[in-house]
Amino acid sequence: MAWTRARRRWAWALVPVLAVLAVAVPLVVARRLEPTPAGTPVNVRLEDFKLRRDVPVVPAGTVVLHVLNEGPTTHEVSVIRTDRAPDKLPLRRDGLTINEDAPGMDFINEAEGLDIGDRRTLALHLPAGNYVLYCNMDGHYLGGMHASLTVR
């Protein structure tokens, strides 16, 4: 059947729509199907200038930190194993940031540069012990961005 002019016009208009769908749909599906690391999940919320985690105590093994920065400024989250109280960590000479090289401080891992709204997943293999989560940007720790995490 011969196509009318109007039909041909609609057909040409559909071409870009189909092209966009062909690219977007696989990307979304692929993102949804990203494998989540196995382990004990801990949701960590960062904000000016607080650090909150939903679970204070987790079993030893793989712990997966799901970090979300609620802003408004950029933050980071560091994990250190120490028996010191979270608000008594040693500071560097600047008096503003944690001295991670001090005795009794065992740096585990960190997630840096989380802008507002950013999510990051940090999978850690943590043996039993006391840990502190904190933001080590200038003044953030002293502003209150720290929390303890106990692994049993």
Residue numbers at the binding site for other proteins (CB under 8 A): 48-49, 71-74, 95-96, 115-117, 137-140, 142-143
Nearer CB in complex with other proteins: 62/73: 73
- Which residue in the block uniquely carries the two structure tokens 């010191």? 84
H-only helix segments in 33-119? none
Least separation in angstroms between residue 87's CB and other proteins is 13
* Least distance to other proteins, CB of residue 24, Å: 19
CB closer to other proteins out of 13 and 29: 13
| Minimum gap (Å) between residue 75 Cβ and other proteins | 9
Token output for 100: 């991670």
Select 64 or 118, whichever has its Cβ closest to other proteins. Answer: 118
- Strands (E) across 39-138 are located at 40-47, 50-53, 57-58, 61-69, 75-81, 106-114, 119-126, 129-134
What is the spatial distance between Cα 79 and Cα 97, in angstroms, rounded to a whole number?
Answer: 14
